[in-house]
Amino acid sequence: MDPITIRSVRPIVTAPEGRPLVVVRVDTSEPELYGFGCATFTQRALTVAHAVSTYLAPWAQGRNVDDIEDIWQGAMASTFWRNGPILNAALSGLDMALWDIKGKRAGMPCYQLWGGKSREAAAVYRHADGSTLDEVVDNVARFVEEGYRFIRCQWGGYGGMAGNSSAEEGVKFLNPNVHPPCGALPGEYFDPHAYRRRVPELLARIREEFGTTIELLHDVHERLQPADAIRLAKDVEPFDLFFLEDLFPPEQVEWLSIVRQQSTVPLAISELFTHPLEWMPLITNRLIDFIRIHISQIGGVTPALKVAHLCELYGIRTAWQDPKDVSPLGHMANLHIEIHAHNFGIHEWGGWGDHSPMVFRGLPEVRDGYMYPNTSPGWGMEIDEEAAAAFPATAQTLPSPVIRLPDGTAVWP
């Protein structure tokens, strides 16, 4: 029997909830056999789509759909300069689509291909924010009432308390005490010291209101200098966090060894990583407790499975990055790994918007704080391309403001 081969690879770009999402469809030499994969990189969605159609599609055409590992390795090597977010995302779309096809051919969901279930569903955490403490408490209470037991708490977004906007056009203050100099450039301004002091106040209030009946998480989002980040890790210890996220940017992860010496707060990091040399030292030196990789940014399910199994050997759990920067299809792929992998930790979920179910058919079910996959073959999802076309994405669909310190200095991320 002749092998089934890749007939075409093409991107589908859509923004049903305002954020550009990239999905890749792979059609095969077998009529009606096709698969979908997530290639989402919201900030550079059109560039990823171009890479898929211009470079990856002609390279993959004619290859045997069974050879997922060889296709992944070959596609990675073909770029010569490896492990960048654009090409990794494009490869992720192809890789996930091939796993979808593999599951369909086997007549089973993808998690069964890897050895079956470790659990029936994945616990999810929700994001509770607010411009005031009372508003945060109200949002936490709403999620608790809906059955969620893991909640990430922020006060005024990343970096501190929301405040008044400047009269100066384009300047937004995340703290009312921020006073930039005259002629301040456009951006979102925040005070890292005020932010650091307010996080313990936030967590103390949540614990006062809800006790230890829920698990708390907090995302620093790399908004602190190393010394302040270490101080924060020590200050939040009494509040028994499930994890503290992104204490440092990738350029400063060497500081994690110092944090380990001074605080027992569980640490989650790596959502910006694209290269194995970024996460390997953190795993093998046991400097983190949760791996936060964005699966599309490392090239898809094939490398993610390897990372998950490596982390298991070092006592590290998975917490794949799953905000609204991931398509619903990407959520499903992450969920299948979580259902399978023994060392699952938590699934991040920002909720579906009103339009997502129109484009993505077969969404995973969420009830009482858990996300359940369907049992259809592959990912068990379909993309309505006509509906997707009704929500076009452009290069300006997701503008990214510059984040600035009180004196106007631009900072990452």
Q: Is residue 281 part of a domain?
A: yes
For 130-159, what is the mean pLDDT? 95
Shared domain for 287 and 153, answered yes or no, is yes
> What pLDDT does residue 157 have?
87
Place of tokens 């399910």: 301
Alpha carbon distance 99, 378 (integer Å): 7
β-bridge pairing 317-318 and 347-348: unpaired
> What pLDDT does residue 395 have?
72
Q: What confidence tier does 323 reach under pLDDT thresholds 50, 70, 90? A: confident
> What pLDDT does residue 324 have?
84
| 59-100 per-position pLDDT tens digit | 999 999 999 999 999 999 998 888 999 999 999 999 999 999
Shared domain for 12 and 56, answered yes or no, is yes
Shared domain for 151 and 238, answered yes or no, is yes
Q: Which amino acid is residue 260, in one-letter code?
A: R
Shared domain for 279 and 157, answered yes or no, is yes
Beta bridge partners of 151: 126, 216
Q: Is residue 392 part of a domain?
A: no
Which residue, 77, 108, 139, sits at the end of a domain? 108
Q: What confidence tier does 172 reach under pLDDT thresholds 50, 70, 90? A: low
* Tokens standing for residue 220: 């620093």
Q: Is residue 386 part of a domain?
A: no
Catalytic residue among 111, 125, 158, 189: 158
β-bridge pairing 365-367 and 360-361: unpaired
Q: Is residue 391 part of a domain?
A: no
Domain count, the chain: 2
Alpha carbon distance 39, 89 (integer Å): 5
Q: Is residue 254 part of a domain?
A: yes
> What pLDDT does residue 167 have?
45
Which residue, 108, 132, 167, sits at the end of a domain? 108
Query: Which of 296-305, 337-346, 402-411 has the weakest average pLDDT?
Result: 402-411
Shared domain for 72 and 135, answered yes or no, is no
Residue from 162, 183, 166 nearest 408 by CA: 183
| 178-214 per-position pLDDT tens digit | 888 888 888 888 899 999 999 999 999 999 999 999 9
Residue 156 near residue 167, CB atoms below 8 Å? no
Shared domain for 103 and 250, answered yes or no, is no
Q: Is 375 exposed, middle or buried (0-12, 13-18, 19+ CB in 10 A)?
A: exposed
* Cis status, amide bond into 3, omega within 30 of 0: no
Return the CA Rg of the chain: 22
How would you label 34-57 residue by residue, b for 16+ Cβ within 10 Å and e otherwise? bbbbbbbbbebbbbbbebbbeebb
* Tokens standing for residue 80: 């010569």
Shared domain for 270 and 323, answered yes or no, is yes
Catalytic residue among 221, 294, 331, 340: 221
The CATH number linked to 39 is 3.30.390.10
Shared domain for 53 and 195, answered yes or no, is no
Quick check: is 336 catalytic?
no
Give the domain range for residue 91. Answer: 6-108
> What pLDDT does residue 398 have?
64
- 10 Å Cβ neighbour count for 277? 8
Shared domain for 81 and 120, answered yes or no, is no
Q: Is residue 389 part of a domain?
A: no
**Residue scoring higher pLDDT (165 or 89):** 89
Alpha carbon distance 196, 136 (integer Å): 17
Residue from 23, 25, 26 nearest 6 by CA: 26
In the chain, pLDDT over 70 holds for what percent of residues? 95
| 366-380 per-position pLDDT tens digit | 999 999 999 999 999
Shared domain for 74 and 176, answered yes or no, is no
Shared domain for 244 and 353, answered yes or no, is yes
Shared domain for 92 and 181, answered yes or no, is no
Strand order across the 403-404 sheet:
171-173, 187-189, 403-404, 410-411
Which residue, 108, 137, 166, sits at the end of a domain? 108
Q: What is the mean pLDDT of the chain?
A: 93
Quick check: is 158 catalytic?
yes
Alpha carbon distance 33, 28 (integer Å): 6
